[in-house]
Amino acid sequence: MQITFRSAFSLLACVLFAGCAGVSSTRIIGDAAGAAGGAFLGNKLGKGKSLYTAVGGAGGVLLSETLQAGSTSRAKKSYAEGYEKGRSDSIKRQYQALNERQRFAPQSDDAAHLRLFDVPLPEREQNGVILAPGTATLRIQE
């Protein structure tokens, strides 16, 4: 197998374009394949002219990067949706556990550790609204 200037140039263009890809192995492989394929097509369609080979390689990398960006964007969107769903589910579970705990009356051994305090609330103004006097019950369980 004889290496010609054109094939060496195509290989060099492939390596150079793939070097800009970052650290992801799939991205490097995708960019290298895109550059090699684009350079090959550019070389064949341009009848061996190096300008067409270089433009084909650049086009292959551009196509590969466009596909990678779309994939990354979908993955980030999916991750964000899953994260929000997980947070929502976690909060719902905490709320339901709190409701279950408060729903049942204290057991016989817990009754000794439960105290209720009535706190008188005077008439007051809050945000321009006059609130009537009343009482609030504080439940303290030790």
Kindly list the domain boundaries of the chain, sorted by start residue: 5-100, 107-141
Q: Write the pLDDT tens digit of every residue in 94-141.
A: 888 887 777 665 555 555 677 888 899 899 888 888 889 988 888 887
- Considering only CA atoms, which of 9, 121, 92 is closest in space to residue 55? 9
Task: Give the model's confidence band at 21: pLDDT under 50 very low, under 70 low, under 90 confident, else very high.
Answer: very low
Q: In this predicted structure, what is the pLDDT of residue 27?
A: 79
Task: Return the number of other C-beta atoms located less than 10 Å from residue 109's C-beta.
Answer: 7
Q: Write the pLDDT tens digit of every residue in 29-83.
A: 888 888 888 888 888 888 878 788 888 888 888 888 888 888 888 889 999 888 8
Task: Give the DSSP letter of residue 127.
Answer: T
**Averaged pLDDT for residues 15-36:** 71
H or E element, residue 50: helix 50-103
Q: In this predicted structure, what is the pLDDT of residue 61?
A: 85
Which tokens belong to 51?
């300008």
